[in-house]
Every structure is written in C-alpha cells, then in structure tokens.
Amino acid sequence: MTESILCQDEGHGASGLPLDEEGICPIGRQYVALGQRFGFDHVLVSTFPKADKPEFAANILFCNWPAELRERYRLEDQFSASLLVQRLKQSIVPFQASECVFVDGRDRDAQRSLAGAFEDRGMSSSLAYAVHDCSLAHYLFVFSGQRAALERSEIADLYLESVELLDNCSSLIAQKDGPREKLSAREIECLRWSAAGKSSDEIAIILSISSHTVVSYLKSAMRKLDSVNRMQAVARACRFRLL
C-alpha cells in the first residue's frame, strides 16, 4: 500500500515535521497505527471544510490513501458537499457507514464511479467523527477499511485515543488562521468597499485612484488570501477579522 502525507515542504509534513521513508510524519504514523489497531487500513485527518475553504487539498492534514485515489478525489471536488461532511454538520456523535461517505450524491453516475474507486481500494466502510481542540480548531477524522461495525466500547476507545493524540499534538498540526502575507492598508480598503458592494470603478472614485490600481490591489489581496475571486477573498478577510 502506498502511504503518503500532505507536505508543506519537500521532506517535511505538517508544520515542518520530518517524513519517514514511507512519506509519513511521526504524528501521521501514530494515527495510521491507531486505525490499524482497530482494523482500519486507511486514515484521513483534516480540518473541517469552511465556506471559504472547501477544497480537499486545503484541509487535509494526514492521509494514507493511495496517491492516485487522493488525486482523483481532489480533482472531483466532492469533499465539502460529501455525505461525510453533511452528516458531521448535523451531529457530534461518531457514526459508522457501510457505504462510501466521500461522495456527495448529486451526480449518480459520478457517485457510483467514485464510490467504486474507494471500494476497489478496500475502503468499503468508515467510522467518522469531528472534534474541536482546546483552541476551538475544528477537525475531521475518518478511519476506513473493510472492518465490520465496531462495538460501542470500541468506538469509545478509538475516539478517546484519537482525541488524546490530538490534544498532545494540536500545537504542532494547527494551521495558521490568517493570510499567507500581510495585506496592505490599501488592499484592505479595497476589500472593505468590495464587501459593501462597490464596483472597481466606484472604489476608484471613493479612494481617488484609478480603477486599474483598484483591480491591482484586489488581485494582490486575492493572492495573499489564497482566493479565486473577490467574494472568497472578502469572506476570508472577514474570517481573519481584517474587515
């Protein structure tokens, strides 16, 4: 089985932790070992997707899925709308499923194809739950494999051990909740007026600069906020309390 973990830099995993010969950092290795003790070969630990950060790749922390499956899932973009995420938005209780929880069900043909890809790789059942750490960061845990349903006591043990591990390492894996670069005062001004519904031309008049300059500031802000459009940039700026 090909095991890998999200890397921030070559040779390093979450928060710069070194990777072993199989491409897994020490914390990721502990989660893999924990899942295997309970009969699950595959583990996903991620931050919980937000409206302005829905992408699978943007949230994943530890994952030992086969590389081709992880890449396909990233491209098909079903994570934030998946049965998994929708279920965990409705209940804090761990749940087990004997079907693929990673699909969103909107496109039945795509759902069957993607679900089949997970099943072909021995991921026909899953146990999942979401937890917050002491800083209120929101995490999602999924242990997948061919394991039959766990007893209630086994679920409690797995849940407790994973939370204890998270409590011990959350300071290392926590993702910085802020922009990749500091925004300038002008960039924040342009975002603030954009949030108020003003066009580039209107912002230019308000700030006494050219509309071309406004567009330049907004593009720079979008880049720093890792956003694909103005709406997402505004949403992220609000979440980071910049506006």
Which of 30, 93, 101 is closest to 62 using CA atoms?
30
Q: What is the mean pLDDT of residues 97-114?
A: 84
Domain ends where: 173, 207, 225? Answer: 173
Quick one: pLDDT band at residue 21, thresholds 50, 70, 90? low
Q: What is the CATH number of the domain that holds 213?
A: 1.10.10.10
* pLDDT tens column, 129-182: 999 988 788 999 999 999 999 999 999 999 999 999 999 887 777 655 677 789
Rounded to an integer, what is the distance from CA 21 to the centroid of its chain?
A: 25
**Alpha carbon distance 20, 13 (integer Å):** 10
Looking at residue 88, what is its pLDDT?
95
- Alpha-carbon Rg for the chain, nearest whole angstrom, is 20
Instruction: Select from 116, 141, 173 the last residue of a domain.
Output: 173
- Give the pLDDT score at 226: 86
Q: Is 134 found in the same domain as 204? A: no
If asked whether residues 31 and 112 sit together in one domain, one would say: yes
- CA dihedral (145, 149, 152, 153) in degrees, to 10, reads -60
Domain of 169, in residue numbers: 14-173
Whether residue 191 is predicted with pLDDT greater than 90 in this model: the reply is yes
DSSP letter assigned to residue 103: -
Domain for residue 111, yes or no?
A: yes
User: Which is more confident, 195 or 108?
Assistant: 195
Residues 51-63, mean pLDDT to the nearest whole number: 88
Q: Considering its fold, how many domains does the chain have in total? A: 2
The pLDDT of residue 16? 54
pLDDT tens-digit map of 207-237:
999 999 999 999 999 999 988 899 999 998 9
